[in-house]
Amino acid sequence: MKVIAITGGGAGIGRGIAWHFARAGWAVSITDADRQAGKECLEVMRAAGTKAIFVPGDVSKPGDMERWLKATKAELGCPDVLVNNAGIEIRKDVFKLSIAEFDKVIAVNLRGTFICSQAVAKMMARRGPKNATERGTIINLASTRAFMSEAGTEGYTASKGGIVALTHGMAISLAPHRIRVNAIAPGWIETADWQKASKAKNLHHSKADREQHLVGRVGVPEDVAKACQFIAEDAGFMTGQTLTLDGGMTVKMIYA
């Protein structure tokens, strides 16, 4: 049975990815800083018969992530796929954003991605025969905000741009170990109905919101999960890349 490990798997896109792979017959390991979200996601997967574990933890803390990945290996086996999904955003006027807030966003989004990737790569590199064609895959959640911005999003955009660069950097370093590293850059993904029970909301899209996408709708976590499955299972010739997944929003030229 294949094993997927997902950070921030308790809610939002991470929960959507966990559920998608659970239904596809994978064993699923999630970590999340929010215990309630993680427990709820675990209960749903186990109720459906999935082999799954949840270990609470903060991706910016190396000790937490080592504990999570060790438990994953012990209970489910070495992950075949790691999805670095956990992320936060602090939106604030550029003159008001404190350095501590900037650091916090970088620590979770960028540092956390490196911490988990390095830890899982150490495990992946040690398995399989010497001539294995593939020992594992790492998928990082970037964002279209790595390439374009709104005002007041400096920490977030910098972290996502860093993730795109980290993706090709680690793809090169890990290639000799037969580990592929790719990123997905989603646009607008609606997660309101994938939050923990106490935070779940109704979707609230206007017609204009939908129509600003070339495909005529906002994205859903399942879109990201399907892209993860493609990268994990069908994209053996793809590494170091960032796949834009935004319903065409960022190819539209705007004259104002």
Q: List, by residue number, the catalytic residues.
A: 156
Closest CB to ligand NAD among residues 135, 181 = 181
Q: Which is nearer to ligand NAD, 137 or 143 (CB)?
A: 143
In the complex, what is the shortest distance from the CB of residue 195 to ligand NAD, in angstroms, rounded to a whole number? 6
Of positions 18, 33, 139, 170, contacts ligand NAD by CB under 6 A: 33
Applying the rule CB under 6 A, the residues between 97 and 116 that interact with ligand NAD are 108
* 136 vs 187 by CB, closer to ligand NAD: 187
Kindly state the number of chain residues that form the binding site for ligand NAD, as judged by CB under 6 A. Answer: 25
Residue 146 identity (one-letter amino acid): A
Binding-site member from 11, 22, 28, 139 for ligand NAD (CB under 6 A): 11
Considering only 143, 167, 229, 242, the residue that binds ligand NAD (CB under 6 A) is: 143
DSSP string covering the chain, please?
Answer: --EEEEETTTSHHHHHHHHHHHHTT-EEEEEES-HHHHHHHHHHHHHTT--EEEEE--TT-HHHHHHHHHHHHHHT-S-SEEEE---------TTT--HHHHHHHHIIIIIHHHHHHHHHHHHHHTSS-TT-S-SEEEEEE--GGGT---TT-HHHHHHHHHHHHHHHHHHHHHGGGTEEEEEEEE--B--GGGS-GGG-------HHHHHTSTTSS-B-HHHHHHHHHHHHHT-TT--S-EEEESTTGGG-----
Selected from 4, 5, 13, 18, the binder of ligand NAD by CB under 6 A is 13
Q: Which range of residues in 5-13, 90-98, 116-124, 230-238 is near ligand NAD by CB under 6 A?
A: 5-13
Q: Among residues 136 and 155, whose Cβ is nearest to ligand NAD?
A: 155
Q: Interface residues with ligand NAD (CB under 6 A)?
A: 7-8, 10-14, 32-34, 37, 58-60, 85-88, 108, 141, 143, 186, 188-189, 191
